[in-house]
Amino acid sequence: MAAPGVTTLTDVDTGRVPPALRGLLPVLIAVPVLALAEVLLGSSPFATYLLSVVGVNIILAVSLNIVNGMTGQFSIGHAGFMAVGAYIAGVTSLELKEVALSFLPVAASDQVLFTVALLAGGTCAALCGFLVGLPSLRLRGDYLAIVTLGFGEIIRVVVQNTEAFGRALGLSGIPQYSSVAMVYFWVFLVVLVARRIAGSSHGRSLWAIREDEVAAEAMGVDTTGYKVRAFVISSFFAGIAGGLFAHFVPIINPGSFTFVKSMEVVVMVVLGGLGSSTGAIVAAIFLTLLPEGLRSLFGALGAEGSLAQKVDQIRMPVYGLLLVVLMLARPQGLFGTKELWDVLPRWLPRKKKGLS
């Protein structure tokens, strides 16, 4: 018998991780990888911007998947929560623009204040999610879709008529604190939270609600409570995505958070597969890079003066066509409710335990 505190060969062979490090291990791996990516991309502004947009869309898609995929509800107002996070975080950063923490270097102080602004935006978005979700999630059916649609439009109108938010001209002068490392750190966090929820007792209750809400309630599941908690978590990360977005674009205006943006995120979730986090990630990457791919293709074909400039106009019809084809060929989405690692073994051979 090994002495206490001594790692034995059995521990190494079975790949056991000390309980104290089990929760921190993913973070300890992600931080240096993100720091290295930030250094490598420092000299490429366009790649940094494009990767930041991809990251924000991943956060939006994975967070919406918690509600639309795992819980089986239907929210179409995600852009409204993104707008709340963007404007609150932007105003907070403007108020703290001249503030510096004397005991930290300037760069570190800016990132700490940026994190404070992000958390303020995410918290306000979560509070709005609670206020919107509590009455609407008590009902069954499509009431949540109607309420979230109305909420998104209310937020847009309020922003357009509020002087503190820049009215229709938008909010400018927000410090550009965001970076690829910060964006993808939050991508990592939202994916980690989604996976931990899916594998927990809370997640099993959400799956039960998705499959049959009446049966889940009959088995003692607090359906309203679980749905509201899932909606608040989803709204929080939508607010974080909005805050990140506000800190790498020159100006934010109500036109960035319309119903069209909400539908883009819904398309990402449906395309990837309702309930699949990796499916939402793959779909978000594909649909974000698709306009750039079309723009490059049309430019190579000599249509740069006409069709290449209209990519944003034909983007939604292309999304619609993709959805129609997907619903005919694979109604459950690319991954269904499975994850990437559940699908890969079909094509990639994997060594089985007990076989040499």
Query: pTM for this structure?
Result: 0.86
Q: Write down the pLDDT at residue 14.
A: 40
Q: Compute the distance between CA of residue 287 and CA of residue 311 in angstroms, rounded to an integer.
A: 13
Question: 263-287: buried (b, 16+ CB within 10 Å) or exposed (e) per residue?
Answer: bbbbbbbbbbbbbbbbbbbbbbbbb
Q: Is residue 303 part of a domain?
A: no
Q: Write down the pLDDT at residue 122.
A: 96
Neighbours of 141 (CB within 10 A): 9
Q: Write down the pLDDT at residue 352.
A: 46
Q: Write down the pLDDT at residue 345.
A: 58
Domain extent at residue 77:
9-256
Q: Tell the burial category of 74 from Cβ atoms under 10 Å away from its Cβ (0-12, 13-18, 19+).
A: middle
User: Where is 172: in which H helix or E strand?
Assistant: strand 171-172
Neighbours of 32 (CB within 10 A): 9
Q: Write down the pLDDT at residue 107.
A: 84
Neighbours of 98 (CB within 10 A): 6
Q: Is residue 112 part of a domain?
A: yes
Q: Is residue 265 part of a domain?
A: no
Rounded average pLDDT per 10-residue block, the chain, 356 residues: 45 51 64 70 80 94 93 90 95 89 85 94 95 83 84 91 88 89 92 90 91 89 91 96 94 90 92 90 91 76 60 77 85 81 58 43
Q: Which residues pair with 251 in a beta bridge?
A: 172
Q: Write down the pLDDT at residue 13.
A: 41
CATH number at residue 237: 1.10.3470
Q: Is residue 81 part of a domain?
A: yes
Q: Is residue 162 part of a domain?
A: yes
Q: Is residue 249 part of a domain?
A: yes
Q: Is residue 302 part of a domain?
A: no
Q: Specify the number of domains making up the chain.
A: 1
Q: Is residue 176 part of a domain?
A: yes
